[in-house]
A and B are shown apart, each in its own frame.
Chain A
């Protein structure tokens, strides 16, 4: 079974530019999550999709961040325009729709974003 795939693994952009991160969850996983770790701080929740619907986006920092999951498969997280404080590692995770597996998140390797 393929795991959660994220790309790019590392992106370096200048302040004001746009970056799009992509996440391919495990096939069949309805739940998809985005988390972020800023250096020196804890991993923080950004948002949760159930299929193509945003279940909870309470962790999105501001309106410069836009997440989509068209068709309920892969997801993208766009940052536009990027600011210095957006630097960090963005993790994607997925889980099954229901049952005990719904609470077990499988994470990707993360996308490291550096904003200069």
Chain B
């Protein structure tokens, strides 16, 4: 069975600081991994995805994530936080042929001026 663990339900950073949101997964087959973001009063928006190509994946808004099989991790980073990055971030795994996403609990990111 697949599972996703996001460490830290709330993360707070200062504007301009590094953003690091952690995601660990469990999967018995090679996974597809995703990060989605939900801004206030909006839907879930795809930030980036790993689909077995390059292990370092670049997404929108300056975010990137690195797939590390040995650590079963897919942490999300951004070098310099912006106020507009304040949102809730979700890591999800899709393993197998059913295309069903298994989600983490989400991490709420606050950016302080």
Contacts and interface: CB of A to CB of B under 8 A. Distances in A.
Contacts of B42: 109
B101 interface: yes
A110 B92 CA distance: 17
Interface stretch (A41-49, A60-68, A69-77): A41-49
A107 B101 contact: no
Interface residues of A, number: 27
B46 A106 contact: yes
Contacts of B46: 104-106
B49 A104 contact: yes
B7 to A, nearest CB: 14
Interface in A3-33: 3-4, 31, 33
A98 to B, nearest CB: 11
A56 interface: yes
B45 to A, nearest CB: 7
A45 B106 contact: no
Report, as a range, how many residues of chain B touch the other chain: 20 to 34
Given A48-B98, A48-B99, A95-B99, A107 B104 contact: no
Interface in A88-111: 91, 93, 95, 100, 102-110
Given A42-B104, A42-B105, A42-B106, A102 B99 contact: yes
B92 to A, nearest CB: 8
Nearest to A43: B103
A84 B105 CA distance: 21
28 contacts: A3-B43, A4-B43, A35-B103, A42-B4, A42-B103, A43-B90, A43-B92, A43-B101, A43-B103, A43-B106, A45-B100, A48-B99, A48-B100, A56-B98, A56-B100, A91-B43, A95-B99, A103-B32, A103-B49, A103-B51, A104-B46, A105-B46, A105-B101, A107-B36, A107-B45, A109-B43, A110-B43, A110-B44
